[in-house]
Amino acid sequence: MFALVGHPIRHSLSPAMHNELFRRKGIDAVYVALDVKPDLAESVAGSIRTLALAGCNLTVPFKERVIPALDELSEAASCAGAVNVVLNREGRLQGHNTDGEGYLRALREELGIDPTGRDCAILGAGGTGRAVAAALAEAGVASACFFNRSPDRAEAAVAALAPRFPAVRLEAAPLDPAAFRARPWGIVVNCLSGGGMDALRALDVSHLPRGAAWTDANYWMADPPQLVACAGRGVRIQRGIGMLMHQGALSFELFTGVQVDTDTIRGVLDIGGW
């Protein structure tokens, strides 16, 4: 048994995606969704052991809060300071993060963009934002600036990543229009949760150059803010479903040892009209 642990999770496509992949690959497994109250975060790791889950995906708000209770962290998870995959190996819990690599694969496959040398704006400094920023830094971007409603959290993300990527200019800024206009960003990544949508709508995208990319790590909104405005300016846009497909494929491989390609994932997500 595998699971998704988060709150809220009703919108998630992960259970349908993984269960259909299990069926197609002939794997005797099931994937369930567990909506866990945020104040029970400290119980998540113990519950994985108690329920003998083979593994799970984590989403908001557990990606960072579960780390102290894990036995091992992958390099990607350690760098991001967040975990979205936990593997249970005979009671020993391993934390992984597929968000950053999933984002990079989607960026390259869907938009054909090489991030090397680009200036990047990361909207949100939580676990997803840090994972994406770390992957972009590893790929050789010139700079990455965290924009967050809480500047302290953005500064903490910079402090955590800067020693690992000395060649990349890492910065922190408040999530406001004046700070966002400071540079003509080559890549913008929206990693904000639902509570940040008003701040996102307030940003002015008129200074983004043609050929820039506005990408969204979230797939759960039917009409995410700024996508239409960016497309109208000739800025390339990407919805979060691509990142979901790639990080999901990477998660499935960690769970089962079986690789799946993006064409297979697309076919699975087409089931039910998605």
CATH level 3 topology of 100-239: Rossmann fold (3.40.50)
Rounded distance between C-alpha atoms, residue 262 and residue 26, angstroms: 18
- C-alpha 271: how far from chain center: 23
CATH level 3 topology of 2-97+242-273: Rossmann fold (3.40.50)
Active site residues: 63
Distances, alpha carbon 156 to alpha carbons 80, 141, 209, in Å: 12, 20, 29
Tens of pLDDT along the chain (274 residues)?
A: 999 999 988 888 899 999 999 999 999 999 999 999 999 999 999 999 999 999 999 988 899 999 999 999 999 999 999 999 999 999 999 999 999 999 999 999 999 999 999 999 999 999 999 999 999 999 999 999 999 999 999 999 999 999 999 999 999 999 999 999 999 999 999 999 878 899 999 999 999 999 999 999 988 777 889 999 999 999 999 999 999 999 999 999 999 999 998 888 888 877 444 4
**Of the candidates 175, 118, 166, which has an alpha carbon nearest to the alpha carbon of residue 146?**
175
Hey, what are 90's tokens?
């005979």
Break the chain into its structural domains and give their ranges: 2-97+242-273, 100-239
